[in-house]
A and B are shown apart, each in its own frame.
Chain A
Amino acid sequence: DAGITQSPRYKITETGRQVTLMCHQTWSHSYMFWYRQDLGHGLRLIYYSAAADITDKGEVPDGYVVSRSKTENFPLTLESATRSQTSVYFCASSGLGTSGRAAYEQYFGPGTRLTVT
């Protein structure tokens, strides 16, 4: 849905570089999530946020940093990229807002395919 977008869609970076993946939603959802998707592992939660300035770790947070200064944005930063962070990253959101959907339903952005060389 156009309500949640991610950028860039594709990114190649080198080991040790810092890279930031952006997520933006227009539904005024309170909750936002970052997942990574790898073959054989499905979707695993990295970090999530209940509101601006409130974030918490998920299942695989090591090597990642998040911030949420505005409700609509939830950037994910890899401080020093490693090859093991090569993955597809999905942002999702949920909550009461303007999407017209139930608060507990999560909707995903289009994903960012990150390759670390």
Chain B
Amino acid sequence: GENVEQHPSTLSVQEGDSAVIKCTYSDSASNYFPWYKQELGKRPQLIIDIRSNVGEKKDQRIAVTLNKTAKHFSLHITETQPEDSAVYFCAASDSNQAGTALIFGKGTTLSVSS
């Protein structure tokens, strides 16, 4: 089955710096890669996702890149702000199989200091 590895487990940056979180996956059938942000005591919130027919996707300060050949995808946050501090999870699934469950990485705790 699918296995998702996420690095780093913790990341500390200064406000205004960029942050990059990387994930690798094992199942070549996976073609949907969402990223979730989870603030303390809250539910995971979908912030951006990418499908395998796209190499990069941007939404304001966040972007996700995908390298299908190497089976890795990354989350990029530019101009970080204190409110970006949270735990970020990557995940993978085969969206062609309706209702396929997400396989999550173990999470990255991002701390942005002002």
Residues of A within 8 A of B (CB): 30-31, 33, 40-45, 48, 50, 58, 90, 94-95, 103-111
Contacts and interface: CB of A to CB of B under 8 A. Distances in A.
A93 B102 CA distance: 11
Contacts of B32: 104
Interface string B24-38: 000000001010100
Contacts of A48: 99, 101
Given A43-B44, A105-B49, A108-B44, A94 B107 contact: no
B95 interface: yes
B43 A104 contact: no
Contact of A95 (B44, B49, B98, B107): B98
A82 B104 CA distance: 24
Interface residues of B, number: 23
Contact of B106 (A40, A107, A110): A40
Given A104-B32, A106-B46, A110-B43, A41 B95 contact: no
Interface of B: 6, 32, 34, 36, 42-46, 49, 89, 93, 95, 98-107
Contacts of A58: 101
B46 A43 contact: no
A60 to B, nearest CB: 12
Contact of A106 (B98, B102, B105): B102
Pairs A-B, 6 closest by C-beta atoms: A104-B95, A31-B99, A42-B106, A108-B43, A43-B104, A42-B104
B98 A105 contact: no
